Amino acid sequence: MSGAPPSDADFPAAGRRVAIVAARFNEVVVSALLQGAVSAWCRRGGEERDLFIARVPGAFELPVVARRLAASGRYEAIVALGCVIRGDTPHFEYVAGECARGLQQASCDTGVPIAFGVLTLENIEQARARAGADCGNKGAEAMASALEMAHLMARLPR
């Protein structure tokens, strides 16, 4: 592969088994991330009906559902989507940190890639920028990462 970034055609979705787990907290932002992930899947030749989408209350609940999906043996990759915005209390650090740790642990324990599409931000403006405005859509990027990892894992020895 050259030094050029991968294109949509490099890691097609057709024939892949991918699930998305998305938080409902900060719904406006996460819905945009989810839309970006589904659009990226379809742009790469996937059918929307082939995606399994699970919704959870918030980012803190993402790891347990992602782990269950990964351990099921049904999926080659999982996309985790959420949004945690810093407030005036240390709650942000606990939720964001444990979400990231839990998703990483679930991925390592199951051997199934879990793409981290969880925004951890200072304010809603940053969230909007990363969910489809100035900085692209991080949900679409997470789907691209999941598909690339699914292709790579399929080529690696067991």
Give the strand pairing for 114-121 and 52-56.
Answer: unpaired
Active-site annotation holder among 91, 123, 135, 152: 91
Pairing of strands 52-56, 77-85: unpaired
The Cα 108–Cα 86 span in angstroms is 27
Told to judge if 91 belongs to the known catalytic residues of this protein, a careful annotator would answer yes
CA distance 106 to 62: 10
- Residues identified as active-site: 91
